Chain A
């Protein structure tokens, strides 16, 4: 049995730390783990995807359409872009922040409206929250990743203290408290 988490967003939003944290935690829980992403364009505002897979034995490094148990999205449009990767029981955990892509900026395309409602209308379980505000409440707009991880953690049978330990082990010392706070806010938010 392999479990699949996709982390999606816009290049530069900080998905690297989220996947590092998750990989580290799952490995320490005794799972076989693969974490896969494409480098090269990530700094330049393109759509970015990271695959995190874990289980007794993981072969393919990628998640395919219809396979993801969770899509964790840093941005609303990116969640909508990848919903076809979700399995029928899957969950979307999404930051409601929007970032206009270049075709929207130039007026060549429209940013679709009511994406959360449209996903829900498809029967998709969507956990949408304003992670940016929660991250700022924790002390930095850059902590959106830990707010999302906090929310994701509520779906896992892994005790909170193990997540906290993973944060302590993955984050530079001076940012640990900030990230723990962001994680807690994400975990508790309704």
Chain B
């Protein structure tokens, strides 16, 4: 039966059909649904690991134990998993291992726009790249075959537009591969001669895979008009077909590492003009140039950002459809912290106290947006802790008295623990605030090791953050309720003053978690409101000004009472309270 299926769900379907048994991942947009969808199949064990490095090592361990396994992550997650990636490539495996990596051209939900194909080349691992959901299912199955035939992990690269688009698929039954027996093999220990031998094996494997790529149907030629030839892959293929149809010939590459040679040269010889259409870096283009081919590539198409059919038309000098917009300036609508978000009180207090805030990756990055404007910096998962330590080394007491690192619970477990260990071990007087909202929020509410639940929401082990921070060498660890602005400010001032490193755990569950109890919405006592806009300073989407008075959006307000604490005239109060 035909059905519409999200690209990421199709990958999960591919895992199911290929008989995959173990998936270990860390959430990250646009890869999260791969693992969430796989978890709906009872035949597949799925887990959230503390980070991508752990996840990949778990999946590889399962492969060595003899079952088909997978790990999914976003592009920057592969940076974290890069350490095992390179050596797993050498060591090989037992049953098939597939690694999903989802790039985000256009940075819809990412801090950079890196091109994961570099990793496939650097780690010498084959990489497949589906262009729609039907290919997503087919390529997972193909990846397991390749993985086992060539004893190599196989990367499957997604991008936002393939991961988050639904297209038509047909599903099939699951196969149940036999568990591969584990046999002790002394050459599997990656040291000295074993590693040198493994490297030779990997180079030969790449040559074998190039030979495979020359004729495999995963790379296909669609001959049309031969005046123009386009070499492309993934979503760029879709734009090429939409713009040119049969007015160009297309070489669609399903495997982007290693790239074929003869296939490309033969295709080039059949067309008058050769174009490489690829998002981000000129990888296929450079390969063509190494083959001595004359190609149009990044001299015509941008390195930065996503492509679209209009962009392809414009770059190729073709007309685009007329379009008209209104003369009015349309105000932006950036994402905001939800009404009642427990992070809001912390960021308000940090701004009020003029703190330098080294932020991290999560919902709380939205603390950088007006009117809170309470984040100075962020880099990557965990950098708030280690980065602040370095900042304070440079700034000395001036930095230590006025700067904090801010990190979420899931991000702290992912990469913050090692950073705070550097603080306690090498003794800067740094202050870290852990925003513990009991969930991994930004990626859509995944459980993590601090929530006491596993991926399927069942009871699981639970990390005690206070005990953990004490064990990592912090004497000063305190917990505050971020809805209590006085308590937050007191904790902040005392810990910045203290002559040793400290951890403040701001603890309050995300208001969007199912089951979080909300208070009734607040109301504005109109004759008390003087229109001073104090309540507007926290950037709550439930509060706005109408005719010089504050108004509360009853559908959004969860009665968190943070605004009440700012109102000097008592104009904001619970609905059920007599005034």
Contact = CB atoms under 8 A, between A and B. Distances in A.
Contact of A41 (B109, B309, B327, B370): B109
Interface string B327-354: 1111111111110000000000000000
A103 to B, nearest CB: 5
B444 A43 contact: yes
Contact of A36 (B32, B161, B239, B310): B161
Interface of A: 10-11, 23-24, 27, 32-41, 43-47, 58-62, 64-67, 77-78, 80-81, 83-88, 100-112, 115, 118-119, 122, 141
Contacts of A88: 322
Nearest to B310: A64
B333 A47 contact: yes
Interface stretch (B164-172, B391-399, B415-423): B164-172
A24 B573 CA distance: 46
A62 B161 contact: yes
Given A27-B4, A39-B30, A107 B164 contact: no
Contacts of A85: 323
A62 B324 CA distance: 19
A66 B160 CA distance: 22
A62 B308 contact: yes
B3 interface: yes
B472 interface: no
Interface string B146-164: 0000000000000011101
A78 B326 CA distance: 12
Contacts of A35: 4, 165-167
Contacts of A23: 4, 166
B29 A39 contact: yes
A77 B337 contact: no
Secondary structure dominating the interface of B: loop
Interface of B: 2-4, 29-30, 32-33, 108-109, 132, 160-162, 164-168, 235, 238-239, 241-242, 308-310, 320-338, 363, 366, 369-371, 442-444, 512, 536, 539, 541, 543-545, 555
Given A64-B320, A81-B333, 14 more contacts: A38-B108, A39-B33, A39-B164, A41-B109, A43-B338, A59-B241, A61-B165, A66-B310, A77-B330, A87-B323, A101-B334, A102-B334, A102-B369, A107-B545
Nearest to B161: A61
A120 to B, nearest CB: 11
A104 to B, nearest CB: 5
Contacts of A100: 544
Contacts of B324: 83-84, 122
A66 B4 contact: no
Closest 8 CB pairs of A and B: A66-B321, A46-B335, A40-B109, A44-B335, A40-B29, A66-B323, A109-B331, A61-B165
Nearest to B445: A43
A26 B241 CA distance: 22
Contact of B442 (A40, A81, A101, A110): A40
